[in-house]
Amino acid sequence: MRRLRLADALLPILLALAAGGAATTAAAAAAKAPAAPPAPPNVTAEMAKGGCKAFADLIAASPDASSTYQSAVEGGMTVFCPSDDAVRAFLPKYRNLTADGKAELLLFHAVPVHYSLGSLKSNNGPMNTLATDGAAKNYNFTLQNQGDVVTIRTTASAGAPARVKSTALDKDPLAIYVIDRVVQPVELFKPAPAPTPAPAPAPAADAPKAAGGKPARRPAPAVADAPGPAEDDAAPVDQKKDAKKSAAAAGAPCFRWWLATALAAAAAASTLA
Ligand SMILES: *[C@@H]1O[C@H](CO)[C@@H](O)[C@H](O)[C@H]1NC(C)=O
Ligand SMILES: *[C@@H]1O[C@H](CO)[C@@H](O)[C@H](O)[C@H]1NC(C)=O
Ligand SMILES: *[C@@H]1O[C@H](CO)[C@@H](O)[C@H](O)[C@H]1NC(C)=O
């Protein structure tokens, strides 16, 4: 009895407190409401609108890929989505992949940073993707600006980089660029075959010209150097190596030419003396 009476006495106070609390919460929510961030864009819907319906459908059909895509948007994301034609051409290879392989391939086409077209054009080099396992740094591709064209390549598709054709969307936090082919990660596809060996070095007499003008071509052992499956990633590194070797190759004939000239001069001098 007593207890009940106490509760009766307290009830109005509790109700008043609760009402006050609710009012405060409601007021806070009302004050906050205008500042609340807009819902993140629906990535697959935006891709479909922007000309990548086929690719968006593949993502929608892969639970792993679609959940990762959607949860990554808020932090900023750039998608390189292959056009419908590109996806159609790639489908036979795509169907050959396991479910995990499919998800990796799809995640490989987005990077967890929002790049406007301008910032994309001032970037060159390796980029991590949504498929990258941080520590392993795998599933990366190389972004390369060639004149006004943004290209993406891996050593698996070295002969034919994908090009950015158009901007489907560029609105912070999401950018979507349409590319003209599916980019193939070396983790899922064999590296491109070694480039055909360069022709035999030019005769010595021509060497000074070659050294003075275009760099001499790298001579024969191209095949021996070709990246094997074990060290497949290194396109940019290889290119650097190639550049160094070309410079060295160009230097050698130049030195020989200089030596020949010096010897000839010495011979002429001794004849005159
Ligand atoms: C995005 O839009 C598609 C339809 O275009 C819908 O099926 C899907 O559920 C949406 N996803 C989210 C996360 O809202
Ligand atoms: C798919 O896999 C099979 C068996 O490994 C292979 O023979 C075929 O060439 C592959 N198809 C494509 C398009 O890669
Ligand atoms: C790119 O991925 C390969 C594995 O495919 C890895 O060995 C390499 O270190 C990565 N490169 C960068 C710059 O993260």
Report the pLDDT averaged over residues 15-42.
59
- Does any domain span residue 187? no
Instruction: Kindly identify the ligand whose nearest atom is closest to the C-alpha of 97.
Output: 2
- What is the position in ligand 2's atom list of the atom closest to the CA of 96? 1
Tell whether 258 is covered by a domain. Answer: yes
pLDDT in tens, 65-102: 999 999 999 999 999 999 999 999 999 999 999 999 99
For residues 80 and 58, what is the distance between their CA atoms, to the nearest angstrom?
Answer: 14
Q: How many angstroms separate the most distant Cα atoms in the chain?
A: 138
Residues 230 and 148 in one domain: no
Residue 193 forms part of a structural domain: no
Sheet holding 125-127, edge to edge: 110-111, 77-82, 174-179, 162-171, 149-153, 141-146, 125-127
Cβ atoms of 179 and 185 within 8 Å: the answer is no
- pLDDT at residue 251 is higher than 70: no
Looking at residue 191, the DSSP 8-state letter turns out to be P
Ligand 2, atom nearest to 92 Cα = 13
Q: Which of 74-83, 199-208, 229-238, 244-253 has the highest mean pLDDT?
A: 74-83
Residue 190 lies in a domain: no
Q: Could you give the angle at the alpha carbon of 84 between the alpha carbons of 81 and 87, nearest 5°? A: 75
Q: Are residues 175 and 214 in the same domain?
A: no
| Boundary residue ending a domain (142, 164, 179) | 179
Which structural domain range is residue 229 located in? 204-272
Residues 146 and 232 occupy one common structural domain: no
| Weakest mean pLDDT among 94-108, 109-123, 168-182, 211-225 | 211-225
Do 107 and 224 belong to one domain?
Answer: no
Same domain, 214 and 171: no
Query: Residue 167: CB within 6 Å of ligand 1?
Result: no
Q: CB of 42 closer than 6 A to ligand 1?
A: yes
Asked, for residue 265, whether it belongs to a domain, the answer is yes
Q: Are residues 66 and 171 in the same domain?
A: yes
Residue 214 lies in a domain: yes
> Which pLDDT belongs to residue 85?
97
Give yes or no for residue 190 CB within 6 A of ligand 2: no
CATH code of the domain in which 114 resides: 2.30.180.10
Which single residue is written with the structure tokens 């056009």? 83
Compute the average pLDDT of residues 179-197: 85
Highest mean pLDDT among 152-156, 194-198, 265-269: 152-156
Confidence tier at 5 by pLDDT (50, 70, 90): low
- Residues 132 and 94 both lie in one domain: yes
Q: Summarize pLDDT for 189-217 with one digit per residue, the tens.
A: 988 776 666 666 555 544 444 444 444 44
- Ligand 3 nearest atom to the CA of residue 187, by list position: 5
Specify whether 169 is located in the same domain as 222: no
96 CA from centroid of ligand 2 (Å):
6
In a domain, 28, yes or no: no
User: Would you say residue 33 has pLDDT above 50?
Assistant: yes
Residues 167 and 211 in one domain: no
Q: Domains in the chain: how many in total?
A: 2
pLDDT computed for residue 195 by the predictor: 65
Give the C-alpha separation, 139 to 229, whole Å. 15
Determine whether the shortest distance from the Cβ of 154 to ligand 1 is under 6 A. no
Look at residue 102 and tell me if it is in a domain: yes
- The verdict on 102 and 151 lying in the same domain is yes
| 12 pLDDT above the threshold of 80 | no
Question: In a mutational test of the pocket of ligand 2, which residue from 90, 95, 96 has the highest number of ligand atoms less than 8 Å from its CB?
Answer: 96
Judge if 67 and 169 occupy the same domain. yes
Do 132 and 210 lie in a common domain? Answer: no
